Amino acid sequence: MAEATFHTVSNPCRASMSTGAYPEVHGNVAYVFDPVSGRARGQSRFLAAETIAETLAAEGRTVASVQWYMIQDHGVRYGDPEHLYVQPGGGFGQRVDVAIDILNLRPVDSGGQQVTVPKIPDLLAVYSSDLDGLGHYEGPASPNIAALLAEHDRRLGRLVQATKDLGIHRDTAFLLTGDHGMTAWNRGCLPQVVGAVEALGHTVQVVPGGGSPAAGVEVIIVPDAVRVGDITLRGAAAEPRARARIKAALRRPGSGAGRTAARARCCCPARGSGPASARAGPG
């Protein structure tokens, strides 16, 4: 069973896998407008919740992470033998090699220094980005995905075999996780969305992550890399009737938003009400 956190964007999902919490707890969200700071939020490694690595470390357990960067400095770090972070780069095969070295208590490079763990870690995380990289470059229908997946499986087999060779296989649990899937749909509809809202007489600004909208802008759109966008309504656009008109316009054929997910939020602190949220998606 797969359950998404927020929408399926890499770092918010990885934060949830690392903490066991939803974004409302760990605070890692992406491609939304933050009315408190007045800025659009892109992807980050922010974490406000304890990670599994920090929990284990607090219990005196040992942890090692091979490029699972979301827990770097949140339970593992460079140069710490009992809570080790390493980033060898390269493909999954190279990272499995390093993981096997760690299991066999051989020295590995950690931030430019050779470090040996004192014992087999209680938790060993190994991050693979091979399939994601191929999907980005060639798409989910790439004829090379099946072969790469098979190779990925063989490399996982090497890691499993290493636990057998060390006599810890029966006491080892293997967890395979993924942060998102793939889609071949990449036709943007942002111009149609902007046009549909501007036709209602509202000022619109598209704000990338880290940016801030101009004063007086009524409709703020923070897009991500796919057909999902966060829409924040302010001023006249936040009035109930205006909001209803905007929602209806985005659902009309030709606006482009009828086949995407657009989260519309009302931000009207001057009226004494907090942000309200609603979804304006497929009708």
Instruction: List the chain pLDDT tens, one digit each, 283 residues.
Output: 445 555 677 778 888 889 988 888 888 888 888 888 899 888 878 888 899 999 999 999 999 999 999 999 999 999 999 999 999 999 999 999 999 999 999 999 999 999 999 999 999 999 998 887 877 777 788 889 899 899 999 999 999 999 999 999 999 999 998 877 777 766 777 888 899 999 999 999 999 888 999 999 999 999 876 666 789 999 999 999 999 999 999 887 665 554 444 454 544 332 222 332 222 222 2
Q: What is the pLDDT of residue 64?
A: 98
3-state secondary structure the chain: CCCCCCCCCHHHHHHHHHHCCCHHHHCCCCCEEECCCCEEECCCCCCCCCCHHHHHHHCCCCEEEECCHHHECCCEECCCCCEEEECCCCCHHHHHHHHHHHHCCCCEEECCEEECCCCCCCEEEECCCHHHHHHHHHCCCCCCHHHHHHHHHHHHHHHHHHHHHCCCHHHCCCCCCCCCCCCCCCCCCHHHHHHHHHCCCCCEEECCCCCCCCCCCCEEEEECCCCEEEEEECHHHHCHHHHHHHHHHHHCCCCCHHHCEEEEEECCHHHCCCCEEEEECCC
CA distances from 57 to 60, 72, 132 (A): 5, 13, 30
The CA angle 211-212-216, to the nearest 5 degrees, is 155
Q: What is the pLDDT of residue 5?
A: 56
Kindly report the pTM of this predicted structure. 0.76
Q: What is the pLDDT of residue 66?
A: 98
What domains are there in the chain, each with its CATH number? 50-171 (3.40.720.10), 190-280 (no CATH)
Which residues pair with residue 72 across a beta bridge? 76
Q: How far apart are CA 105 and CA 196, in angstroms?
A: 61
Q: What is the pLDDT of residue 104?
A: 98
Q: What is the pLDDT of residue 225?
A: 64
CB-based contact 96:75 (threshold 8 Å) = no
